Amino acid sequence: MLVELALSLALLTSIGLVVFQGSLDILAPRQWIIQQNMSDAYLTYEEAYAQRISFEELTSIESPWPVYPQKVTTEVEIGKFPGGRPIMADVTRTRIPDNNNLPDNILPNYGGTGTQATNPSEMQTWQVQSHLSYKIGTNEYVKSRTIIRTQ
């Protein structure tokens, strides 16, 4: 009877460990999905900010998006884990002028090589880029959004 009790206790313990491991295997992908959703939500904010900012502020020297090849990298909190531990990421911003923008000697800070013949309306077009990099475990991920602004 003592042997049967020991065997049944060992069997129940083994079943409990298998069920526990299975529940952990179910939760691990959820953590990954939560971080993917949080990073997508933050990039949606970046996209909205790039579209909302005035064109004058976007193209100024103090712009949050400096002219390429310059860039600005900032550490941001994109969310929190259950329990309150923050999820941190780095956002890198830059903007790239369109080739048809008029050059600096005609209109300052437009950054293109266009001429009055190719761009008679003196339009400006910029690619505003935000890159978000973050880690999940030992893997590093990068997501980006590019917004085209024209005036």
What pLDDT, in 10s, does the model give residues 12-53?
Answer: 899 988 888 887 777 666 777 878 888 999 999 999 999 999
Res 109: pLDDT? 56
Structural domain total, the chain: 1
Res 29: pLDDT? 65
Distance (Å) of CA 42 to CA 1, 25, 38, 88, 151: 62, 27, 6, 11, 26
Res 107: pLDDT? 46
Give 119's contacts (C-beta < 8 A, 6+ positions apart). 100, 101, 102, 112
Rounded to whole angstroms, how far apart are CA atoms 127 and 96?
5
DSSP three-state, residue 72: strand
| Interval 75-125: pLDDT, tens | 999 888 778 888 899 999 999 887 777 665 444 456 666 667 776 667 778
Peptide bond into 86 cis (omega under 30): no
Question: Where in the sequence is the domain holding 71, given as residue range(s)?
Answer: 2-150
Q: 10 pLDDT exceeds 70?
A: yes
**What is the model's pTM?**
0.72
| Alpha helices in the chain, H assignment, sequence order | 2-52, 55-58
